[in-house]
Amino acid sequence: MQDKIHSSYKQLEQKSKYTNMFLRWFLYFVLVIFALYFIFPLYVMVVTSLKTMEEIRQGTLLTWPSGLNFDSWLVAWGGRGYGAGDTFLKPYFWNSIKMVVPAVFFSTFIGAMAGYVLTKWRFKGDKWVFLFLLFGCFIPYQAILLPMARTLGVLGISNSVIGLVLVHTVYGIPFTTLFFRNFYVSIPSELVKAARIDGAGFFKIFFKILLPVSTPIIVVTIIWQFTQIWNDFLFGSTFSFGEAAPIQVALNNMVLSSTSVKEYNVDMASAIIAGIPTLIVYVLAGKYFIRGLTSGAVKG
């Protein structure tokens, strides 16, 4: 009797072993397919940027380049050296840096302050303030282009990097506030109470007690804001042109303004250069990104 039961257990055991093995291999298969799917465009970009135009014309998309040829990268970054009509990324790259650094800093800082007030210094109607701020996350940017252009004009900072800093700061605040509010909600208010009894004021509590523990959410916010602002095309193309344009606008101009032949290798190199800073930010701070996004879900 017992033998019978044991042998049926054995059969079930075998069966589930095979099922698990199959599922595991299937999982790997699917993952590999997805990985290839995602890496394919990047592969094409990198490979194309390293080819000469000759190679591009003769080979296919996937053909390996004959050698490491960085000429098209140099052209994309520094131009060909002749005067009019030569667009290259270098000045616009610095435009973007000059725009993104202050905009990220101010929007993060203001968001942190706002999140701190909305969670630790509650006031009458604070829920409404938060709700209206949230609206800012959902407003389509196209809807505010005209009023914003007018505002920048009145302030006298249209077509300037400063104007773009202002626009990106203002439109970053709803998101940064949301991030910081949700983070600070999970930090016990007793900390603030203890600090008040210890005699610390509004700013001291913020700088000495809350800000030092906010690293994960600061990193999340910086990544988010950096990516948003660096990759923005709409504000950049609307509120700036010529010299003051950020890199994404310049990239667009460069690719579209080619007169005779399409230089795919230079286009690809430019696109990669325009994407590198966000990649760097992700690689450096990526682990905090996941940690920061999930913080608050588990108790510290």
Q: Would you state the structure tokens that stand for residue 1, as one six-digit string?
A: 């009797």
Q: From the list 144, 149, 170, 191, which residue makes contact with another protein (rule: CB under 8 A)?
A: 191
Cβ pair 281, 227 in contact under 8 A: yes
Cα angle 145, 267, 93; round to 5 = 55
| Using rule CB under 8 A, residue 298 touches another protein | no
Binding part of the chain for another protein, among 83-91, 176-184, 208-216, 282-290 by CB under 8 A, reads 208-216
| Using rule CB under 8 A, residue 262 touches another protein | no
| Using rule CB under 8 A, residue 153 touches another protein | no
| Using rule CB under 8 A, residue 41 touches another protein | no
| Using rule CB under 8 A, residue 127 touches another protein | no
Q: Please count the residues of this chain forming the interface with another protein, following the rule CB under 8 A.
A: 17
Binding part of the chain for another protein, among 112-120, 159-167, 201-209, 277-285 by CB under 8 A, reads 201-209
| Using rule CB under 8 A, residue 81 touches another protein | no
| Using rule CB under 8 A, residue 133 touches another protein | no
Cα angle 194, 196, 200; round to 5 = 115
Q: From the list 197, 261, 283, 297, which residue makes contact with another protein (rule: CB under 8 A)?
A: 197
Q: From the list 24, 193, 262, 287, which residue makes contact with another protein (rule: CB under 8 A)?
A: 193
Which CB sits closer to another protein, 51 or 120? 120
Least distance from another protein to the Cβ atom of residue 120, Å: 12
| Using rule CB under 8 A, residue 194 touches another protein | yes
Closest CA to 175 of 149, 144, 138: 138
| Using rule CB under 8 A, residue 188 touches another protein | yes
Which residue type, as a one-letter code, is found at position 215?
Answer: T
| Using rule CB under 8 A, residue 185 touches another protein | no
- What residues make contact with another protein under the rule CB under 8 A? 188, 190-191, 193-200, 204, 208-209, 212-213, 300
